[in-house]
Amino acid sequence: MSTPAAYFRILRVGYVLVREGVIASLPDEDIPPPVRMAKRLLAPFARRAANSTERSDRVARAVERLGPSYVKIGQFLATRPDVVGVELANDLAKLQDRMAFFPEGAARASVEGSLGRRLEELYTRFDPPIAAASIAQVHPAEVITPEGPRKVAVKVARPGVRQRFARDLEAMYLVSRLQERFIPSSRRLRPTEVTRTLEQTTRIEMDLRLEAAALSEIAENTAADPGFRVPKVDWERTGRDVLTMEWIDGIKMSNVVALAEAGHDLHALADTLIQSFLRHTLRDGFFHADMHPGNLFVDPAGMIVAVDMGIVGRLGKKERRFLAEILYGFITRDYRRVAEVHFEAGYVPSHHDVASFAQAIRAIGEPIHGQPAETISMGKLLTLLFEVTELFDMETRPELVMLQKTMVVVEGVARMLNPRFNMWKAAEPVVGDWIRDNLGPKRIVTDLRDGARALMKLAEAAPDIVAKTEKFHSELLHMSEHGVRFDRRTAEDIGRAEARHSRSGRIALWIIAATLLAVTVHIW
């Protein structure tokens, strides 16, 4: 149930978007006629200065005014072009997660409160912050180890960030429910489910212990991988609001000139980056989902070091096989197989025709085979694929969309290092090995082993299943003979809840009307 405060927050967001010219700059394509009309009516209320800037600048300015929670929401939606559209997603991807520093005293208090020890007992030096984002800021510090003093990076969560995000999220849930109710075409995108995913991922990101766990897991997965690593976690100095990790002395991948001057092989770095990402995706089913150049360093030894693991993605075995098979199908021009994989995975409803879907897939694949290999983007291929699947009622798969968006970013970094980067040649050693191991004869052995394990678990659970089935059967018989009855307390609770809902709805409508009147008076 939404509170009146949620309606207020929606109005504030709408007002800021109008004033900064974001609404006026939205493309007219795929916008319902009533929304298009509202956009034209609101366009004159934008600030004059806003109308003279690019849309990405308008979006950045609006998000900056709305606060840190909306920076994080915007960055999340940048990974969902299926929801906000490709153009707006690209604008949101340019959001700079650079926020004002919060006081050093608050950071010290947060560290001590989270770890339960005085700061002086934890660090021999704790310096002022050097970087601040929507959720946390980073302080250089120093600790004493048996080997001597060691420099570390200390990430400290913003005070009150969870409470602010929870309030802003309530408004987003309300918008999602209204969207599903009044824009039927959006239901395929499951906006409420998207908001729930945002809530889950951001809550995880706000608990720095979970980011530390992600760093630890990917460190184990990549221990034997060539050319890639992540910072080591200092678990003794890590808690819910503080993450202490190895300090990385390296060059950001965004600084191509500095990388070249330091003697690093840019082409080899591009190959290593793509191969590492594909290993994480296909082999481990666990990948860094925010691999922009600012989160990637190259250390003096030439190793790629990925930082900021707040956003990660996971793929199950089915999703990994799906990805590998569609890539392999496009490479071999087996469009029928690509189509069948979509139906086997349950992504496309069975009432559609496989041959018609294969024809649509061919429309994507054939133009690609006429291009030089270095111009073909795997991320772009998946983007086109998802656009086609929309015509066949394929529901949004958040994990696949996050993968596709991350792949676009990683490919962009690789081509920044090597403008003639051949994605398919670089990917072949990893994708080819995975396909041979998982789609060839070895797959049958693996499937048989997994099936045997599943049967063993089913046999172990059989007594409980039988007992629960008997209990459910007896309850069904009782309900069929006596009907479903609420006790008196339950009936009274339902009545009170309905009354509160009706009352709060009326109050909210009056608040919205009064606020709109006040905004109109202010504008005029």
In the structure encoding, which two tokens stand for residue 321, read together? 């096989």
In the structure encoding, which two tokens stand for residue 209, read together? 């212990």
Closest to 348 in 3D by CA, of 279, 309, 400, 301 = 400
* DSSP-based three-state secondary structure for 436: helix
Active site residues: 290
Task: Say if CB 124 and CB 137 are below 8 A apart.
Answer: no
Task: Say if CB 69 and CB 47 are below 8 A apart.
Answer: no
Task: Say if CB 184 and CB 32 are below 8 A apart.
Answer: no
Residues in Cβ contact with 364 at an 8 Å cutoff, skipping those fewer than 6 apart:
330, 381, 384, 385, 388
Which amino acid makes up residue 214?
A
Tokens 């949101």 correspond to what residue? 92
Q: What is the dihedral angle through the alpha carbons of 109, 308, 244, 199, rounded to the nearest 10 degrees?
A: 50
Closest to 324 in 3D by CA, of 432, 424, 408 = 432
CA–CA separation, 219 vs 26, rounded Å? 42
Q: Which residues of 300-338 are buried (b: 16+ CB within 10 A; e: fewer)?
A: eebbbbbbbbbbbbebeeebbbbbbbbbbbbbeebbbbb
